[in-house]
Amino acid sequence: MTATPDLVLREAIRPGIARLTLNRPDKRNALSVALMESVLQALDAIEADSGNRILLLEGAGPSFCAGLDLAEAAETAKHHRSSELVSTLLQRLATSRLVTFALVRGSALGGGAGLMSACDFALADPGATIGYPEPRRGIVAALVMIFLRRQLAERDARKLLLTGEPITGAEAERRWHSSSRSRSCSGDRSRSSGPNACSPRSGPRRSRRSSSGPTGFTSRRASRRNWRKAPPPSAKSARRGGRNSWRSVRNVGAALRRDFGGES
């Protein structure tokens, strides 16, 4: 008898950093009920360890995640449970105390793109395919819409969600930078250092994020100062919102960019 492989692979790649790998490469890591339940269980286990602070999410094989398992979702007995788990999984990633990275190669479509946008950071291969094909099937991408809206300007988000046209990882990076610049110039003018703060020459201004944000830092200088004074990681200091996290996030992000190679 052939043993059934684990649907999710969990490993600690270094102290404080855990990796979850969606392990249905033959199905392009489509989100089945069993797979999503396994991811949620793995998240519980990782978050229970107060030493863990960063989560890397990736897919086995050539694709990150092809979205919902449509064959299973079409089954009357599993349809409701499948939709419920997608919503729960996206919410868990978005509200986790861990700083989350999505490492995207191949395709990230539908629910797979939703996983990507629910994470705090996404590193995608320039040739990766990212999209929301639901409109072409007459479906509204309602579950993932709120998470995409956090990442992109409204016009870019509408184009993706209403046309169903996929984009590459390189195009996603360009749109994200464009959206970030647009928000910096339109929504944060009160903190501008001068009339040319948002000019093309000056570039987008670094914004300050409140302590309730995904990485919980107010400024890089303050983060470095707090890191030096911080005690060893504990359940209290490791929780989401602790200012100690920023240096780890920055260092891990730089290491991932070196290892991942050419991502956006």
DSSP symbol at 194: S
Reading across the β-sheet that carries 17-22, which strands appear in turn? 8-14, 17-22, 54-59, 99-104, 121-124
Phi, psi of 35 (to 5 degrees): -65, -45
Contacts of 206 (CB under 8 A, 6+ apart): none
C-alpha span between 225 and 120 (Å, rounded): 23
- Asked whether the beta carbons of 59 and 105 are under 8 A apart, the reply is yes
Alpha helices in the chain (DSSP H): 33-48, 70-73, 76-95, 111-118, 142-151, 154-163, 169-187, 220-229, 235-238, 245-260
User: Tokens at residue 190, please?
Assistant: 């009160």
Name the active-site residue from 84, 134, 173, 263: 134
Q: Is 134 a catalytic residue?
A: yes
Residues involved in catalysis: 134
